[in-house]
Amino acid sequence: MITNQAKAEKCKSTEMLKKTRVITMETGEPPCEHENSGEATNETVQTLFGNFEGHERFNFPAGIIRVTSGYGGEALLYTGGEKTALFDCGMAYCGQKTVENLTKALNGRALDYIFISHTHYDHIGAFPYIKSAFPEVKAVGAAYSKKVFSSENARKLMEALGTAARDLYSDSKEPVRTDGFCIDTVAGDGDKIDLGGDSYVEIVETPGHTNCSISFLLQPSGTFIASESTGVLEAPGSMHTAILKSFSDSIASAEKCAKISGIRHLISPHYGVIPDFYIAEYWKLFIRAAYRKKEYVLEQYKKGLDFDGILEKYVEHYWIDTQAKEQPKEAFLENAGHIIKAILKEFA
């Protein structure tokens, strides 16, 4: 994805870029083929994400199998402990296919936990399908996620965005399910959920993208599954920021993550595995990109534009049509409104 922001970020991180080369960036170039680390799925993915040279972003640390189906949302299964754990669920429209991938990857084992990074439709849309297939599974999430799940408005938004994604990415006319969302175990900062053997998940609260955003430190491998509060890597040197709730919370979350010792592997939401040499740069890149977006929005505000005017400028500046491969425009617009409001609320 080439946005002005991305271009600027690329210039900023020249040191890192010496080590990298963007292979697939936007339409017009041949789609890249990605093999999943697990046997569960093996599909050709057309994507706007850019790769680091010699690095396979779906080559997950030992025990993690990518069970994602379809576009737009990821689902990662951990089978390295005595108990199994799914990190996010992916989209609703392909929920049944995700269940098939999951069943195959579990290979007869039970699904013990679903860890919910936050309550957005692209992360938990497939939850109702997975819960139906594995009714014993325990959902782990933030206290605020539990609150969101009790909101009828949140459910309606999930339905609207899930349906937009269905229409964009599939030929299906099946209504998307939005029933049965729940949190069985509320988890907060520092809580550890034992997966048996020497495996456990430590919860790291990282608000900013939403109030309910949490990240996961999976041990003993030192695998950090970052939340969207600290960005989505698009390509080497290019970070997408989606600060929907609080700019200062997001920056604090990134600073907190940067200080965690023992992160040996980093997984960026939607993107996959970040190369080891890039882990320290990841948090810095996010903070720079976040400040740049904030400045852009405030510039428009200072020119005297009202909310609608700023939104129009924002869409001109940040939306590119190829982005629809990863996110329906409806969801982009929904997010854009929140991003602008969050900045104006804090700084205008």
Which stretches of the chain bind Zn ion, using CB under 5 A?
A: 120, 228
Which single residue brings its beta carbon nearest to Zn ion? 120
Nearer to Zn ion, 20 or 229 (CB): 229
> Cβ–Cβ contacts within 10 Å for residue 325, how many?
19
> Cβ–Cβ contacts within 10 Å for residue 173, how many?
8
Nearer to Zn ion, 109 or 156 (CB): 156
Provide the minimum distance between the beta carbon of 81 and Zn ion in the complex, in angstroms, as a whole number: 27
Nearer to Zn ion, 228 or 234 (CB): 228
Provide the minimum distance between the beta carbon of 209 and Zn ion in the complex, in angstroms, as a whole number: 6
Nearer to Zn ion, 120 or 245 (CB): 120
Provide the minimum distance between the beta carbon of 118 and Zn ion in the complex, in angstroms, as a whole number: 6
Distance of CA 123 to the CA centre of its chain: 7
What is the β-pairing status of strands 192-194 and 200-205? antiparallel
CA dist 56 and 176 (Å) reads 32
Q: Are 275 and 233 in contact (CB under 8 A)?
A: no
Provide the minimum distance between the beta carbon of 143 and Zn ion in the complex, in angstroms, as a whole number: 18
Nearer to Zn ion, 97 or 120 (CB): 120
Contacts of 134 (CB under 8 A, 6+ apart): 102, 110, 111
Give the CA distances from residue 13 to residues 60, 229, 274, 322, in Å, rounded to whole numbers and listed in that order.
Answer: 25, 21, 15, 24
Question: Could you say which DSSP state residue 114 is in?
Answer: E
Provide the minimum distance between the beta carbon of 121 and Zn ion in the complex, in angstroms, as a whole number: 8
Provide the minimum distance between the beta carbon of 49 and Zn ion in the complex, in angstroms, as a whole number: 16
CA dist 121 and 285 (Å) reads 26
Q: Are 283 and 257 in contact (CB under 8 A)?
A: yes
Nearer to Zn ion, 73 or 237 (CB): 73
